[in-house]
Structure 1
Amino acid sequence: MANVETALKEILATIDGAIGAALVDYGSGMALGTIGGGKDLDLTVAAAGNTDVVRAKVRTMEMLGLKDEIEDILITLGTQYHLIRLMKSRDSKGFFLYLALDRGRANLAMARHQLMKIEAELEI
């Protein structure tokens, strides 16, 4: 099992095109940990903003009566992919992993696969 810091380092080291990543509590909108980012990507702002995206999607599913779980949410920009992966284990409900990718360097399918693997090993 990996802790938050180790998991975030693994995301940046093993996922091609990774720009930055965060583990976020979507109850509060606070990032429990961040890595990468920079002047063009403030991960604290991204964590709070993407919390609103997750909350809106969860509410919409409830209003529609959908009895399913969100795996991930993809936001496609001109030069980036933003991937939000809701965590599923009993101890990690209410958290999501956020990953920003350089669209020109990333393989989206491989990034999703790797993020799922890292999530399974993450202990909060």
Structure 2
Amino acid sequence: MSHPAPYPVRLADEITRQLGQLSDHVSQLPPPQAAQVIARVLDPDTGVLGAVTHLLATGSVFAKDQAERGVLPAEVWLALGRACNELGDITLDLDEHKDALQRVGAQPAATAVEPPAPAPLVIRRRR
């Protein structure tokens, strides 16, 4: 007889399923609503991206403890720590664009008399 997955595993599966649903919804939303959703997801303090970064940090602490006990290879801890740091950097980069997303999200769907000029999509990135 198989054992049911423990609650945290089921919770992770449910969150993953709901993120898939959210992606499907965003792809079908009008631009102002899609921008609102994306701005909320990217919020470093209360959004999904910040929460995932925090989850990776928690996982890194766990992996460090387990690596020190010899249960996990140190590379697992280092990889989780690196992923957490890089995701944190990405979160900060995206936070710079929060105002633009919020501006688009605040616009009514049908107010544009003249469409905005397209922007070039190739830009230089500073690092």
**Alignment TM-score, normalising by the size of structure 2:** 0.28
Looking at CA atoms only, which structure, 1 or 2, has the larger radius of gyration?
A: 2
Structure scoring higher RCO (CA < 8 A, sep ≥ 6) equals 1
Higher helix share: 2
**Alignment TM-score, normalising by the size of structure 1:** 0.29
